[in-house]
Amino acid sequence: MTLLKERIGDVQLRVMDNTNWRKPVYETNGLNLWYGASHALKNINLSINEKEVTAIIGPSGCGKSTYLKTLNRMVEMVPDVNISGNITFKGNNILGKEMPVEMLRSKVGMVFQKPNPFPKSIYENIAFGPKIHGIKNKATLDMIVEDSLKKAALWDEVKDRLHKSAYGLSGGQQQRLCIARCLAIDPEVILMDEPTSALDPVSTHKVEELISSIKNDVTIAIVTHNMQQASRISDRTAFFLNGEIIEVNSTATIFNNPNDRLTNDYINGRFG
């Protein structure tokens, strides 16, 4: 009986939003954010679904990076930020005091625009997350390092130089190292803030391949300037403009048959 109810619930969900088949990990309701007096996010409603790649696109200054940083509360490091509304992560409110940010971030990794490995060895970069979360056993750390680097398709390139500086890697390798560093804490979500904007096309391609290969295990929200990238790698796309969401839809719909004229203009390069 309960099973039936769940099924009915599921079907109803599908009827309401045909892109929203999967279970949402993040649900954002009525989110507003101000930097001082400037209203950067206006009434954002968006869910990020489990084991999907959600792309967030839009012109510079539209609030897409701000939204991403709100999801792991990094945005609060900017002085004079005010937030109202609701964001839940797996049903738990994250904007209140109930959940320490450290707790949230141990489940939500972040990859930044510029590769930012620590000035430590490759090994220590990957082991950093597990170590701060209390793993001390050398054999366990070795396993995590190998496993994470393999998932990030970096193992073969670095296995002979694990204890050399991460700064000896190329920019693209460094970014994949940063993704591997996230994977090492076994996150449920990885937030990526324009992860390929500082990389050349070959490195970009490798990062995109990596994203496709891990998306079955981890939910990804990616902010990108590159619309081709969004269409290549994402399942759903949200189009932001001036702090508002103009349209959220399956990536295929957004790029082939968008509902909103503004979306159509943006993806066809008429502005932005």
Partner 1 sequence: MEYISTNRVARKMSARLLLNNLSKFIFLLATFFGIFVLGVLIYRVVSQGIGWLNVDFLTGRLSTQADRAGIMGAILGTFWLMMVVVPVTMFLGIGTAIYLELYAKKGRLQSFIQTNISNLAGVPSIVYGILGLTVFVRTLDFGNIVLAGGLTMSLLILPIVIVVSQEALRSVPQHLSEASYGMGATKWQTIQKVILPVALPGILTGAILSLSRAIGETAPLVVIGIPALLLPFPGSILDKFTVLPMQIYYWTLDSSLMAEYANLAAATIIVLLVALLILNSTAIIIRNKFQKRY
Is residue 94 a contact residue for partner 1 (CB under 8 A)? no
Check residue 74 for interaction with partner 1 (CB under 8 A).
yes
Q: Does 110 bind partner 1 (CB under 8 A)?
A: yes
35 binds partner 1 (CB under 8 A): no
Tell which one of 34, 35, 128, 155 touches partner 1 (CB under 8 A).
128
Out of 48, 178, 180, 227, the residue judged to bind partner 1 by CB under 8 A: 178
- Pick 144 or 267: Cβ nearer partner 1: 144
Contacts of partner 1 in 130-159 (CB under 8 A):
131-133
First to last CA, the chain: 51
Radius of gyration of the chain, Cα coordinates, nearest whole angstrom: 19
218 contributes a contact to partner 1 by CB under 8 A: no
Q: How far is the CB of 104 from partner 1 (least distance, A)?
A: 8
Q: Which among 183, 236, 231 has a CA at the least distance from the CA of 26? A: 236
Spatial separation of the C-alpha atoms in residues 233 and 28, rounded to whole Å: 23
| Cα gap 268→272, rounded to integer Å | 10
How far, in Å, are 18, 115, 116, 118 from residue 168 at the CA level?
47, 13, 13, 12
Q: Counting contacts by CB under 8 A, is residue 197 touching partner 1?
A: no
Contact 86, 26 (CB under 8 A): no
Choose which of 16, 38, 79, 97 interacts with partner 1 (CB under 8 A).
Answer: 79
- Is residue 114 involved in binding partner 1 (CB under 8 A)? yes
CB of 268 to partner 1, least distance (A): 34
75's tokens: 């945005």
Pick the stretch among 1-9, 112-120, 137-145, 194-202 that binds partner 1 (CB under 8 A).
Answer: 112-120
**CA–CA separation, 244 vs 41, rounded Å?**
6
Three-state SS at 56: strand
Shortest spacing between CB 56 and partner 1, in angstroms: 17
User: Comparing C-alpha atoms, which of 20, 72, 21, 64 is closest to residue 40?
Assistant: 64
Q: Which residues bind partner 1 (CB under 8 A)?
A: 72, 74, 77, 79, 101-106, 109-110, 112, 114, 116-120, 128-129, 131-133, 165, 167, 178, 181-182, 185
